[in-house]
């Protein structure tokens, strides 16, 4: 008989703006087919749960709330909670991501002795906004339902699962490695761990849908990518200048590559409808890469972490109305 006191999965949630952003995600977790086997750990700026949320909590194996006066970095807060998990498999879920009911069960089914992380299929939670698709496809286009199941070279840092025993050796360093560059994934892969993808483990991600937010996000993401590239590969100034000079071509080269990978594989993603917004996002990204090749990251990592603090701030009016946080 299963020991019901030991969870099968621990889900970590970080709510920088407090409980008001928690309800929708917690509802999705409480609706899991194996909810009674799931422990939830929450880092939040408040710990006051109303009656509706208490009913959700009763479906779970357990819930622990770690109240903090302020959360400066969602990645660091998530990393600290991951080390407090009791289950052998742990997940870091963003407070603007909503898993389907069989998400957890399907992810857990993928683990074997060598697998250290299983990634989710990312769906668009706000598909009516063109810029939402731009951000979705650039950040998560390689992890859609059309991606085949099995071993994969890379997984997303958040909204997937990890084997806890693969994280524990990092100890107090985990908070530093669990970052925008996903250094923890590099370390696990270098240690011989394998990653796996589960297309039937679907999670719906709420993406920025405002132009200003898209410009800020894509520019800083591009800048950090370029800065890390020349740093990790040991480029000198001649090569950095050469790539910066080619920078204006980057969006169009990437668009051509992504065009073949994305369009035509899903009925809800077409070039006529989503191509222009995708190109806009790639242009912002390309501008960031030019800055990264010439001037380094320039604080992009910290700005990207701050960007994740309040998703509502980055939504257009229609999406903000549709996903207005529960209050009470």
- pLDDT for 225-271, tens place per residue? 999 999 999 999 999 999 999 999 999 999 999 998 888 777 778 99
Q: Give the global pTM.
A: 0.93
Structure-token pair, residue 84: 């407090």
Structure-token pair, residue 135: 């951000």
**Domain 9-128+142-205, CATH among 3.40.50.720, 3.90.550.10, 3.50.50.60, 1.10.357.10:** 3.90.550.10
For residue 306, give the 3-state DSSP assignment.
Answer: helix
Structure-token pair, residue 324: 């207005």
Average pLDDT over residues 266-289: 93
Residue ranges, comma separated, of all CATH 3.90.550.10 domains in the chain are: 9-128+142-205
Residue whose pair of structure tokens reads 């806009």 in the numeric block? 280
DSSP 91: E
For residue 63, give the 3-state DSSP assignment.
Answer: strand
pLDDT of 73 over the 80 cut: yes
Q: Kindly report the three-state secondary structure assignment for every residue of 16-42.
A: CCCHHHCHHHHHHHHCCCCHHHEEEEE
For residue 179, give the 3-state DSSP assignment.
Answer: coil
Instruction: Return the percentage of the chain with pLDDT > 90, whole number.
Output: 76
Could you tell me if 181 and 137 are in contact, meaning their C-beta atoms sit under 8 angstroms apart? no
pLDDT of 1 over the 50 cut: no
- pLDDT for 29-70, tens place per residue? 999 999 999 999 999 887 776 666 777 888 999 999 898 888
Q: Kindly report the three-state secondary structure assignment for every residue of 135-149.
A: HHHHHHCCCCCCCCC
């Amino acid at each position: 008989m299963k020991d019901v006191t030991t969870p099968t999965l621990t889900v970590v949630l970080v709510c920088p703006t407090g409980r008001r952003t928690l309800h929708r995600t917690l509802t999705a977790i409480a609706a899991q087919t194996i909810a009674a086997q799931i422990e939830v750990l929450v880092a939040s700026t408040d710990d006051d749960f109303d009656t509706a949320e208490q009913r959700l909590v009763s479906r779970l194996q357990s819930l622990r709330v770690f109240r903090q006066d302020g959360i400066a970095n969602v990645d660091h807060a998530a990393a600290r909670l991951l080390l407090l998990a009791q289950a052998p498999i742990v997940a870091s879920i963003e407070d603007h991501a909503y898993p389907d009911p069989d998400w957890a069960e399907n992810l857990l089914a993928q683990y074997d002795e060598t697998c250290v992380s299983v990634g989710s299929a990312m769906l668009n939670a706000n598909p009516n906004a063109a810029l939402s698709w731009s951000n979705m496809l650039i950040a998560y286009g390689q992890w859609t339902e059309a991606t085949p199941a099995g071993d994969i070279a890379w997984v997303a840092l958040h909204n997937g699962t990890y084997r806890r025993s693969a994280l524990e050796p990092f100890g107090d360093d985990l908070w530093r490695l669990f970052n925008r560059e996903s250094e923890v994934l590099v370390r696990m892969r270098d240690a011989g761990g394998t990653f796996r993808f589960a297309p039937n483990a679907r999670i719906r991600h709420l993406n920025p849908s405002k132009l200003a937010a898209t410009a800020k996000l894509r520019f800083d993401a591009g800048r950090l990518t370029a800065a890390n590239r020349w740093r990790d590969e040991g480029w000198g100034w001649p090569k950095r200048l050469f790539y910066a000079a080619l920078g204006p071509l980057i969006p169009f080269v990437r668009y051509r590559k992504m065009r073949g990978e994305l369009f035509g594989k899903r009925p809800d993603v077409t070039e006529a409808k989503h191509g222009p917004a995708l190109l806009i996002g790639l242009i912002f990204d390309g501008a960031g890469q030019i800055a990264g090749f010439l001037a380094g990251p320039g604080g992009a990592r910290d700005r990207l972490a701050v960007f994740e603090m309040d998703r509502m701030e980055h939504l257009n009016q229609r999406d903000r109305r549709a996903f207005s946080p529960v209050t009470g």
